[in-house]
Amino acid sequence: MAVRANPHLIEELEKYGAQDVVKCYHCGNCSATCPFSGGTYLFPRKSMRYLQMGLESRLRATLEPWLCYYCGECSDQCPREAEPGETMMSMRRWLTSRYDFTGISALFYRSWRAELIAIVVVALLTGIGLTIFGLTYGDLNVYDGEGAFLPAAAIHRFDWAMAIVLVILLGINCVRMWWFTVGGDRGVRVPLREYLKLAFLVPLHFFTQKRFRQCNEKRPWAVHLVLMFSYLTMLILIMFFLHYLQDGPAINWVAHGFGYAAALGLVGTAIYAVHGRIKKTETHYRHSHETDWIFLGLLALVSATGIIQHVLHRTGQPAAANVLYVAHMMGVVPMLVLEVPFSKWSHMAYRPLAMYLSALREKAVAVESAPADKRAAVAQTA
Amino acid sequence: MKDDCRIGFYICNCGTNIAKVVDAEQVCERIAGLPGVACARAYKYMCSNPGQEMITRDIRERGLNRVVVAACSPRMHEPTFRKALEAAGLNPYLLEMANIREQCSWVHDDPRAATAKACDLAHAAVRRVRYHQPLEKVEASYAPATLVLGGGIAGLTVAVELAEASQPVYLVEREGKLGGNVGRADLTAPYLDSARDILAEKIARAEASPKLDILLRSELVELRGFVGNFRATVRTTGGPTRDLAVGAVVVCTGYQEFDATRIERLGYGRFPDVITSFELERRLRMGRLETDDGRIPRYVSIVHCVGSRNPRYHPYCSRVCCMTALKYGHEIKSALPAAMVTDLYVDMLSFGKGGEDFYRRTSELKTMFLMYEKGDPPRVRAAEPGDDCGLLVQVNERLSGEVIDVPADLVVLMVGMEARADGGDVARTVGISQDRQGWFIESHPKLAPVSTATEGVYIAGCCQSPKDIPDSVAQARAAAAMVLAHVAQGKIEVDARFAEIDPDRCSGCRMCNELCPYTAITFDPDERRSSVQSALCKACGTCVAACPSGAITARHFTDKQIFEQIEGVLAWSSSRSS
Amino acid sequence: MEFEPIIVGFLCNWCSYTGADLAGTARIKHRPNLRTIRVMCSGRVDPTFVLKAFAAGADGVLVCGCHPGDCHYIEGNYKTMRRMELLGQLVRAYGIDERRVRLEWVSASEGERFARLVDEMTLELRQLGPCKLRPTVAALANDFDGLSRAVTAQVAASGEVTHG
């Protein structure tokens, strides 16, 4: 069955940040230098070829971009400056938009203005909603306890409601990713047993990012791990232990210890990334898509407002703390509602899932070829 | 046998080309023992200056009067060694060569058998050289006029160069106008300058030159004579038949395009939107790039190697199509910026100056390049109802192993070059040969690329093999330079190898008169004897073999010389010789 | 050890000798049984040369010229063709198997074909074994005039005198 070529595919990918794809003449240096390339997955060269040939359906079914961590060596080695690393990055953006059933992702990646407007709108709605809520049920001068402007319990419920919506959105997208790459591929049949046996790969990769560490350059992995753990710590604190942080005046030092460490990690990595992207210190910082800046901007905004509102609260200025808290939520909500399912943050789900799915595909290949081997063995003995 | 012979024998190692298979020392030893051999030496490169000096020194110091060189083919270095003999004051025809490279060491693996064969060939040469005669070359005049066949870019260049050097030229063109296939093109790769401009300049110079006689709608029907002294009969449709005296003939008859209907799956002739490169050139020149029903094409698919590099049609590369296809990428993109161009190629041969850079620039125009296996051309079919294109081109993509459908509104077939169907007639008329594909054969692919086996007949341009405009022009100017070099001398040395009739043995039967293909033998009715006009004789020896009285001698190929050679090759190896 | 026949080859300078050289430049390996003698045109190959070769101990004779219509000398090879027909009768008359004499067309571009031809003929002659001559022919080995007379007599006997 022939595959239809889409001659416009490169143009499409360019909207997602691809550059100079056409320059590639398939020398293979990129694949030779990449520590992950080989065996079943021959990237970035193979993906570059799919792109040049306009094989949209093949590209949609590939997991390869998710197996790349953009250490940048391929781009450094490329004799034609075809930027394979950046192309893989743009393919991840494109794939994210394919997995997303709402179409919002495609809109955001292709138009930073749309994304910014959406963020502002959600931020304003959040701000207005929370202000009305606070003024109706509490007092601006009370930060915690009875009559608090934004009581921890209410925020907690709000957070959980938001989390459920997010999980549903991201879950649907993950199922689509599975369908595009494994489920819908007729040539691939994975037994249920393997699904269960390999399920541990998702949390394993999520928490350790061990594959990232295999890149020759270790620093990006370390930075990323600090960011990821800081973010995760903060998420757990907020989802389960919000009242320890918000309620006073007694200070729960365990929760606060974790909170401060996480805040430090987030601010530190944000500064590191912004500095890197401005100065272009590393290959993967050389090209910055608008979504990268929006992501970093939100991260910096949320971190800063979070820290300031906390300081104000603990230094006894509840009114100012409440205002900053609203501002903080105006950053948090768009970040979670828009960035996690539709933009850059979604990769926290897709990456570990891709490890799992690629392992499944390899198993499926093994299962398929087994009977043939058996036939060959029978033929030999006969 | 001649007792006063002092033969010098030299065997060349040719680096390791000969010595790695043939035991040169052993050959030397065996030859040294033959009667008349005064010295036998092996050397690493006989054709080098020290090698040649070795021969001249030995001739002077050891009084050699015959030389045998066992080395490469005489077609390669016979002139070199003849010069070495001349340098030492010996007649150059007292040399004989044994071909132990092309016809021995390069084609045999077994050192024992190859050495035995080399010994036999050397032995035969030694036996033969004893009967060599000193021969003197004959001089003939060289007519200054030149006949140029074909008014394409190559022929025009030759004619203009010669005419502007004040030499008379007859430019014979079969069609009603000059320009040939270049006249059918729009722009040229890689600099995108106009083919029309290139031609117009040449044609203007040709028409302005008083020395240049342009004969349109004309054909060469007969060519007699020999180098410097040809008589050409040229017939003009609706005009006079002329008899021209020319010193040289330059053949620039070009090529014809491959008939794309022969590859059925490409759909040429079946779909009006499948067109050849020449048809596209026409549309580009007219500035109307649209489909058959007048739509603007959104997708253009260019198929390379149509008829070329395909074992079923032509195995060779037509050399210009890749660059031309890249040129289309530029031309289509500049005419229709929204159109998507796909190149289906076998190997991208963007050779030559500026070629690779042009390829890179074309790929930056987002041209899609898909590679197919030679011998497996793409298949064109009508698009399905819901498609946004008129045709679909199915290709087995080689780099990915995928079967891909490429959308197309216009499919352009890069039809290859093939030798003209009437090339055989031209070859026979002027006395040159064609290779298996019908291209005219040059004397030596590297050392004599525009000369042919017939002295005074040169080839230039695509009639020799496919080539681009720069190469055709370079060849044309090379041919013009060859002609001018002879014209400047005003005379020509005719090879001393010709036939002679011994009047005492001639019975006057006149059998040879009819046999001679060059009418070089005349009969004197008073004496009742035939005689050979040496300048006309080409030394084929047909008359010699046929003379019932044995009265004709082929100088340098006498019966005795060949008999000695036969005995020489068999003396050591025949099953009955030991 | 297997019998290795010796073939004497008469190759025309313009096509076949060039073709044999081409086999060399293209390194097309073939059997080392051929001993080449260069002539300007296959038309130069006098029937006496062929008889002489057999008399001197050849097991086979290969005459190669340009393809018909492609002769450097316009039509020399046509003459060879007619002459070789006669030669067939001639060698038969002397008790030599006709398969030992071959006339083939090899152009300047047919290195491959030349190599194949040499291999083919070598194998055929191996099967035929060494060429045995009648004493009358063997005696002619060094007598050129005798050979010429023998050829002329045979030509006269066959009634084919026109060469043209």
Q: Is A71 in a helix, a strand, or coil?
A: coil
Candidate CATH numbers 3.30.43, 3.40.50, 3.30.1490, 1.10.1760; the one for domain C7-157: 3.40.50
- Identify whether the C-beta of residue B369 lies closer than 8 Å to the C-beta of residue A5: no
DSSP run (H or E) holding C34: strand C34-39
CB contact A52 to B (< 8 Å): yes
**Dist CA B197 CA C62 (whole Å):** 56
Q: How far is CA B84 from CA B70, B81, B354, in A?
A: 15, 5, 44
Q: Which residue has the tokens 């007859």?
A: B170
pLDDT: which is higher, C2 or B142: B142
**Residue B531 forms beta bridges with which residues?**
B522
Query: Mean pLDDT in chain A?
Result: 88
CB contact A50 to B (< 8 Å): yes
Kindly provide the b/e burial profile for residues A19-53, where b requires at least 16 CB atoms within 10 angstroms of the residue's own CB.
ebbbbbbbeebbbebbebbeeebbbbbbbbbbbbb
From B18, which residue of chain C is nearest by alpha-carbon distance? C24
Closest listed residue to residue B515, CA positions, set B499, B535, B492: B499
Give the closest of B441, B559, B575 to C130, CB-based.
B575
pLDDT tens for residues B371-389?
999 889 999 999 988 899 9
The DSSP letter of residue B395 is E
Please tell me the CATH code under which domain B7-135 is placed.
3.40.50
Nearest chain B CA: its distance from A100 CA (Å): 26
Lowest mean pLDDT among A81-90, B131-140, B453-462, B492-501: B492-501
Lowest mean pLDDT among A38-47, A231-240, B201-210: A38-47
Query: Residue range C81-86: average pLDDT?
Result: 76
Q: Where are the alpha helices (DSSP H) in B35-164?
A: 49-62, 74-87, 111-129, 153-164
Q: B499-554: which CATH topology?
A: Alpha-Beta Plaits (3.30.70)
What are the tokens at A37?
Answer: 């390339």
| Interface contact flag, B103 C36, Cβ < 8 Å | yes
Please tell me the CATH code under which domain B146-255+419-492 is placed.
3.50.50.60
The DSSP letter of residue C67 is P
Closest listed residue to residue A323, CA positions, set A334, A312, A332, A333: A312
Q: What is the ipTM of this complex?
A: 0.90
Cβ-proximal residues to B128 (8 Å cutoff; 6+ apart), any chain: B96, B561, B562, B564, B565, B568
Neighbour count for residue B170 (Cβ, 10 Å): 22
Write down the pLDDT at residue A219: 87
Which subunits sit against C, judged by 3+ Cβ pairs under 8 A? B
Write down the pLDDT at residue A365: 67
**Is chain A adjacent to chain C, meaning 3+ CB pairs within 8 angstroms?**
no
Reported as half-sphere exposure (CB side, CA atoms, 13 A), residue B420 has a value of 20
CB contact C107 to B (< 8 Å): yes
Q: Residue B496 corresponds to which amino acid?
A: A
Grade residue C163 by pLDDT with cuts at 50, 70 and 90.
very low
**Dist CA B445 CA B462 (whole Å):** 14
Domain ranges of chain C: 7-157
Q: Which of residues 60-89 of C touch B (CB under 8 A)?
A: 66, 69-70, 72-76, 79, 83
From C29, which residue of chain B is nearest by alpha-carbon distance? B107
Give me the sign of the Cα torsion angle A20, A25, A26, A28: negative
CB contact B241 to A (< 8 Å): no
What are the tokens at A10?
Answer: 């490169």
Closest listed residue to residue A360, CA positions, set A189, A205, A210: A189
Q: B274-407: which CATH topology?
A: FAD/NAD(P)-binding domain (3.50.50)
pLDDT tens for residues B219-261?
999 998 888 989 999 999 998 999 999 999 999 999 999 999 9
pLDDT tens for residues A181-228?
998 887 888 888 989 999 999 999 988 888 888 888 888 889 999 999
Give the best-scoring range by mean pLDDT among A301-315, B53-67, B528-542, C60-74: B53-67
Grade residue C161 by pLDDT with cuts at 50, 70 and 90.
very low
Q: Which residues of A fall within a CB distance of 8 Å from B364?
A: 22-23
Cβ-proximal residues to A157 (8 Å cutoff; 6+ apart), any chain: none
Q: How far is CA B239 from CA A236, B148, B172, B216, B429, in A?
A: 102, 19, 13, 10, 21
From A54, which residue of chain B is nearest by alpha-carbon distance? B368
Grade residue A2 by pLDDT with cuts at 50, 70 and 90.
confident
* Homologous superfamily assigned to A9-99: Alpha-helical ferredoxin (1.10.1060.10)
pLDDT: which is higher, A376 or A338: A338
Write down the pLDDT at residue C160: 45
DSSP run (H or E) holding B494: strand B491-494
Domain ranges of chain B: 7-135, 146-255+419-492, 274-407, 499-554
Write down the pLDDT at residue A216: 82
Peptide bond before residue A249 is cis, with ω within 30 degrees of 0: yes
**Dist CA B310 CA B287 (whole Å):** 33
Q: Which of residues 4-23 of C touch B (CB under 8 A)?
A: 4-6, 8, 14-15, 17-18, 20-21, 23
pLDDT: which is higher, B136 or C160: B136
Domain ranges of chain A: 9-99, 104-358
Domains B146-255+419-492 and B499-554 belong to one CATH topology: no
Kindly provide the b/e burial profile for residues B133-155, where b requires at least 16 CB atoms within 10 angstroms of the residue's own CB.
eebeeeebebbbbbbbbbbbbbb
Write down the pLDDT at residue B215: 97
Write down the pLDDT at residue A349: 92
Q: Which residues of B fall within a CB distance of 8 Å from C57?
A: 570, 574-577
- Identify whether the C-beta of residue B215 lies closer than 8 Å to the C-beta of residue B313: no
User: Is the model's pLDDT at A370 over the cut of 70?
Assistant: no
Q: Which residues of A fall within a CB distance of 8 Å from B299?
A: 7
Closest listed residue to residue B1, CA positions, set B566, B561, B569, B570: B561
From B499, which residue of chain C is nearest by alpha-carbon distance? C44
